Amino acid sequence: MLYKVDVIRPGSLNQIIGPVGTLKRIIKDKEYFEGRGYDFTIFTHDIFSKVESGVSVARTTHHKKGIIKKIKSKTRLYARHSFVLSYLFDLRSQLHTKKLVKYYLSLNRDPDFIVFHSSVECYQYLKYSKNKRAKVIMFQHTDGIPFRMQLEYYPKFKGTSYLKKKMEKLSWTARNTDHLVFIAKIGQINFLKAFAFLDIKKTSVILNGIDDFTLSQKNEINEIKSKTFKFKYRLCCSGTINQRKGHRIIIEALRGLDENLLHDIHVSFLGEGAERIELENLVHKYGLQDHVTFEGFVPNEQVYKYLAASNIYILMSKNEGLPISIIEAMRAGLPVISTKISGIPELVDKTNGILVNPDTEELKIVFNNIFRYNWSEMGHCSRVRFENEFTFERMEKEYCDMLDSMVLPSNK
């Protein structure tokens, strides 16, 4: 017997964020999940055509795309200082999600499980669905402190009645969900503190995991590593470029370093985001063009090539769940410089990296002593930890074990 599992995830499978990567791996390993008794069907916004209501999407010139990009970036930044703009961005996101949930409900499907990867779509489903049979599972991809991550983007929500209402919705959703899954231990701890009415038995922790390199990728990695590089310390940072990820901290820490030390350091930023233009201007202002490169959007399946050309991974996030980007760096055998926040200490300790507060001065101390650390040994430990703790084989087993626990023994 195959149990039907529907997954509702707003957005596109072309995104390069953690939850999407997990969904792609579920699709790829469909045979494994079916062997465990579960048939997954995934619903994202990809199901909608790019042409709606008979109106074609017009092509945009490169120049216009550049202007639009700048406007969007500026607007996103202004939203940090405006409640109205923050509200409009949040409302737009909710309406976007509601469109997908409404479409899903129109299909009148009857799964055994329905899985959500945030509280917004889970709330909308629970509110409008008449299906009382399916068991509802909600993943939380944060550190478990309600709306802490969102407040990094929209600080003007803090202390408002709007945030209070959002908290009430989250509480109601958590109470009416059959099971909550956290991708980091700290997420479970913090969420249970925030909502003391929850029974810990209603929750579980499934740490993120990813596939290992294929043989062809390993061969390509070895070829890349055999090349001669200009800089001794080649740091890589991947992810959306925004203030939460701490790119500015890295740039500020590079500023003012001794010229002889800076001569050996280069940082590559992989990704796009609202702050890119502003940060590029900052790099030019500080004269760091030779030491900081913005690579732009890099497809997730190509990131490993940049990691192979690097020998240190850096991520100065102010808030996270359990970053897939660090797990990818560990898979590549890279030592990690990161922050001691959220789930990051569950990935990095003194054996495979260095943890500091998301603070410019603390990072500058690390840079000033960069020649004192045994980066090679830490990189080796990163690879060992990946193999032992963060493979997708381990994750998919725990995922199915969690589903097994929700099925009555008489039915399984």
Tokens for 161? 């009645």
Q: Which domain holds residue 305?
A: 215-389
The answer to whether position 400 is within a domain reads yes
The answer to whether position 73 is within a domain reads no
Residues 6+ apart with CB under 8 A from 224: 305, 308, 309
Pairing of strands 38-43, 113-116: unpaired
- Strands annotated E in 68-159: 113-116, 135-140
Q: Are residues 383 and 406 in the same domain?
A: no
Q: How far apart are CA 145 and CA 318, in angstroms?
A: 13
Q: Are residues 107 and 166 in the same domain?
A: yes
The answer to whether position 45 is within a domain reads yes
The answer to whether position 70 is within a domain reads no
Residues in the chain with pLDDT values less than 70: 49-73, 408-412
Residues 6+ apart with CB under 8 A from 154: 79, 80, 86, 89, 90
Q: Are residues 27 and 134 in the same domain?
A: yes
Tally: H helices and E strands in the chain: 17, 12
Q: Are residues 276 and 400 in the same domain?
A: no
Q: Are residues 146 and 225 in the same domain?
A: no
DSSP state at residue 338:
E
Query: In a 3-state reduction of DSSP, which class is residue 55?
Result: strand
Mean pLDDT of the chain: 92
pLDDT digits (tens, 9 = 90+) for 235-272: 999 999 988 999 999 999 999 899 999 999 999 999 99
From the CB of residue 209, how many other CB atoms can be counted at a distance below 10 Å?
23
Q: Are residues 202 and 254 in the same domain?
A: no
Is 191 within 8 Å of 198 (Cβ atoms)? yes
The answer to whether position 33 is within a domain reads yes
Q: Are residues 322 and 269 in the same domain?
A: yes
The answer to whether position 98 is within a domain reads yes
* Residue 408 confidence (pLDDT): 61
Q: Are residues 86 and 172 in the same domain?
A: yes
Is 314 within 8 Å of 237 (Cβ atoms)? yes
Is 247 within 8 Å of 280 (Cβ atoms)? no
Give one DSSP letter per residue of 165-196, joined into a string: HHHHHHHHHHHH-SEEEESSHHHHHHHHHH-T
The answer to whether position 112 is within a domain reads yes
Q: Note the helical H segments in 301-359.
A: 303-308, 324-331
Q: Note the helical H segments in 195-333.
A: 215-225, 247-254, 259-262, 276-285, 303-308, 324-331
Give one DSSP letter per residue of 127-153, joined into a string: HH----SSEEEEEE-S-SSTTHHHHHH
Q: How far apart are CA 234 and CA 258, in angstroms?
A: 17
Q: Are residues 170 and 35 in the same domain?
A: yes
Q: How far apart are CA 243 and CA 316, in angstroms?
A: 10
Tokens for 265? 């350091």
The answer to whether position 58 is within a domain reads no
Q: Are residues 221 and 134 in the same domain?
A: no
- How many domains does the chain fold into? 2
Q: Are residues 385 and 404 in the same domain?
A: no
CATH number of the domain encompassing residue 125: 3.40.50.2000
Q: Are residues 16 and 42 in the same domain?
A: yes
Nearest Cα neighbor of 172 from 140, 204, 195 is: 195
Q: What is the model's pTM?
A: 0.90
